[in-house]
Structure 1
Amino acid sequence: MNPLKKSIISAVLLAAAFAGPANARLAYEIHSTGAAGSFVVVSGSFEYGDDLSPLRELVAREHPTVVVFNSPGGNVIKAMELGRLIRSLGLSTLQVRQSECASACSLAFMGGVSRVAEPGSIGVHKSSFNDTDALHVADAVSAVQQLTAEVIGYMSEMGVDPGLLQLSLSYDSSDIRYLSGSEMAKYRLTTASQAPVPSAKAEPRDVARVAPPGIQAKADPSLEVPLARDGLVRHPKGRAPIKLSAEADAKAIGDVLNGVVVNILEIRGDWYKVSVADVVGFMHYSWVHVSQFEEDAGDRRYVQVRSFNSLSDARDFVKGAPVPLRVHLAANGWFAVTLRDVYAEQEAKEVSKALKDHGLIAKDSMVTIGNTYVRSVCCD
C-alpha cells in the first residue's frame, strides 16, 4: 500500500475511534507522514457557525499540503466557504474509502488545487434545504433557486463540471450516490490519477491564486496560474474602491489611486482581500494588476471577443476567425480570446465598434485593461 495512503487511513481510523457525536462541528487535526511531510484531516459536520480560522492558523504553522475529509456533510454554504479557503491556501485534497465525504463535503473537496479520490469515497445527493421549511412557498422556491445558482457558480469556479449537480439531484436527500472513478473523472471532480504527496519543504501558500484544476492538464507550465501575492491598482476610472466585504454592493471604505501597491492576503471567488497602508478590505480581481502575472499592456487596451474553458476550443475559434486573434490564460483558469493588437483607449473603442458593425466580432465584445490575463498562450 502507498505509504501516504496507509498513513491517511491510520489517521482517519484513529480520529474515528475518538470522534464525538456524528453531528459534531468541524475539527482539524494535523498528521505527519514522516519524511514526506504532513496532511490535515477535517472531520465533523458542516454548520453555518463553524469557525474556519483554526485551519488557516494550522496551515500557517505546520505547512501541510493535503486535506482529507471524514464528514457526513451538512451546511452547503459553509462547505463552499471551506472549499474556497482550501483553494486560497494552495492545498490539494485526497479522499480514501475508509473515511466519509458525503453530501456537502463533496463541495469542500472541490476546493483542492489537485484532487484525488478512490472510487466510492465521495457521495452526493439532493440537498435537503431544511432552512426553507418555515418560509412561504414562493420564498422557499426563490431560496432554493438562489442556492442552486450559487452551487453551480462555485463548481464552475473550482473547475468541476456543473453536470455533477444534475446527477446529485437524481438522488433524494435520504439516499447517497457514491461516485465511481470514471464518474469523478468525467465531471472533473478529480484532477489526477496519483495521490498528491506532501512535501516536507512546502512553503505556506495562504495567498495563492490558483486556477480551477480540471479545465486543462497542467503538464504544460504555460497553463499554470502563478501565486498572486501583490499588485498595482489599475482601474479604468483611475482609482478603485476598497470594499468592506467581497460583494459588489458592499460599502466602500475608501478609494485607492491607480499605481498604488496592494498586498493580496486572501482570495474569495472573484475578490482579493488586500491590505494597503493601514486599511484591509476587498477589491475585485479585475481592478488589480498582479505582479506575478506576465501579461502587461500598460495603459493600452485589449478587445476581448470570446472566452472558453478549453484551450483547444479557443485555438479552433482563432483559426476560423476573420481577424487576427490571440488567446490568454486568465486568472480563473479560462482562456480569453482578444484581438491580436492592443490599442490606446479611444482607439480600442473605435476598432471594436468598426469590427462589430461589419460583423467580424461578436456584439458583446468588450474593451478591457486585461488585469485578469496571466500570459499569452496562443496563437502568434
Structure 2
Amino acid sequence: MTSRSKLFRLALSAFALVGLTAATDIDPANPTCPLNPNWSANPTMTLKVEKRGRMKVMLAEGRIDSGLPDRLSAALKANPDVEEIWLRSPGGDARAGNTAGRIIRSNPGILTRVPTGWTCFSACNFVFMGGLPRVIDPGGVFMVHMFTRTGDRSTIDMSVAMGTDATRELIGGIEQDSALLASEDNDFLIKMGVSRKLLTDVMYQQQAVATAEDRSTRRCLTLDEALKYGVTYAPE
C-alpha cells in the first residue's frame, strides 16, 4: 500500500469515527453501533432509480423480503445502465439477501455502496457483497450479527403448547436449517471474494439473543475491519 493510500485510509477512519460520535448517539448495548440506525422503515425494499450527475444509481431501501430477487432482476433489466446500488436496510429474509447478491454479481461492473449516514444490517450485508467493487462511505454503517432462525415467536409458543414431540420437531428443524444457512453463507462469502473469517471471527461471535447480563447482539465494522475481511477495498 502506498503512503498516499495509508494517509487516505487514516483520514477515512477518523472521518467515520467523528461522524458516528458527533452526528448520532452511541448504542450503550452495542457500543460499536449508532443508537438509532438509519436503515429505512419501508416494510419491503423499494428500488428507485435516479440520476446523480451523469450517473444512474439505484436506491435500495427497506426490509428484504422473499420477492426482492424478482424485483431486483426486473429493475436491472429495465435499467441496464445503472452503475451503483445504494443500500439502506434493516435486513430481512436471509436467503433472499444471498440471492439478490448473486443477481448483482451476475451484472458485471455494478458498484454497491453504503452512503454516509445509512445503515446496511443483517441480510443487507449479503446484498452489498454482490457488488464489484464495494464501497462503505465515511459514516456509512455496515452492521452485522449472528443469524438466527428462531425469530418466529408465535410458532415456537404454539409448538410448546402442543407438547414435547412438536417442540422437539421444531427445534430439530431450526437446527438443521441454521446449519444449512451457515453453509450457504460460507459458500457465498467465498464466491464474493470476502474472507470467511467475517463469519467465524465476527458474525458468529455475537449473541443471537440478548440476555439480562449482556444485551449486545450487534457489531458495526470499522473501516480497518471492512478492509481486513475484504468487505470493501483499500483506496488506490
- TM-score, normalization: structure 2? 0.66
8 A contact 1:115–1:192 mirrored in 2:
no
Q: Does 1:67 align with 2:85?
A: yes
Q: Give the deviation of 1:23 after TM superposition.
A: 5.5
Question: Greater helix share, 1 or 2?
Answer: 2
Aligned pair in 2 of structure 1 residues 23, 128: CA closer, same or farther (>3 Å)?
Answer: farther
- Separation (CA, whole Å) in 2 of partners of 1:116 and 1:51: 22
Structure 2: distance between partners of 1:71 and 1:60: 22
Q: Partner residue of 1:138?
A: 172
Q: Write the letter of the residue equivalent to 1:125.
A: H
Instruction: Go from structure 1 to structure 2 and tell me whether the alpha carbon gap of 1:53 and 1:141 turns closer, same or farther (over 3 Å shift).
Output: closer
Pick from 118, 123, 147 the counterpart of residue 143 of structure 2: 123
Could you tell me which of 190, 200, 203 is aligned with 1:168?
203
Change (3 A) 1:58 1:142: closer
| Equivalent-residue separation in structure 2 for 1:139 and 1:53 (angstroms) | 27
d(CA) in 2 for partners of 1:61, 1:143: 35
> How far off is 1:77 after superposition?
0.2
Cα drift, residue 79 of structure 1: 0.3
Tell me which residue corresponds to 1:15: none
State the alpha-carbon separation in 1 of the partners of residues 68 and 220 from structure 2.
28
Aligned twin of 1:58:
75
Per-residue CA deviation, residues 269-288 of structure 1 (Å, 9 max, x unaligned), is xxxxxxxxxxxxxxxxxxxx
Query: Over residues 235-288 of structure 1, what are the superposed CA-to-partner deviations in whole Å (9 max), with x where a residue is unaligned?
Result: xxxxxxxxxxxxxxxxxxxxxxxxxxxxxxxxxxxxxxxxxxxxxxxxxxxxxx
Structure with more strand by fraction: 1
Greater relative CO (CA pairs within 8 A, separation 6+): 2
The residue type paired with residue 95 of structure 1 is: V
TM-score, normalising length: structure 1 = 0.42
Q: Which amino acid aligns with 1:191?
A: Y
CA distance in 1, matches of 2:83, 2:42: 27
- Gaps of at least 5 residues in structure 1 are 1-20, 195-380
Partner of 1:203: none
Structure with the greater alpha carbon radius of gyration: 1
State the one-letter code of the partner of 1:172. Q
> Retained in 2: the 8 A contact 1:72–1:105?
yes
* Aligned positions of 1:301-380 closer than 5 A: none
Q: 2:32 maps to what in 1? A: none
Alignment of 1:53-202 (within 5 A): 53-62=70-79, 63-90=81-108, 91-118=110-137, 121-130=141-150, 133=156, 135-166=169-200, 167-173=202-208, 175-193=217-235
In the alignment, the residues of structure 2 paired with residue 146 and residue 57 of structure 1 have an alpha-carbon distance, to the nearest angstrom, of 28
Q: How many residues align?
A: 173
In structure 2, stretches of 5+ residues that fail to align are: 1-39, 160-168, 211-216
The verdict on how the C-alpha distance between 1:136 and 1:38 changes in structure 2, with shifts beyond 3 A counting, is same
Show the counterpart of 2:53: 34
In the TM superposition, what whole-angstrom CA distance separates every residue of 1:132-162 from its partner, at most 9, and x where no partner exists? 8464333322211111011001111111001
Separation (CA, whole Å) in 2 of partners of 1:112 and 1:178: 19
The CA deviation at 1:34 is 2.0
What percentage of residue pairs aligned between the two structures are identical?
A: 25
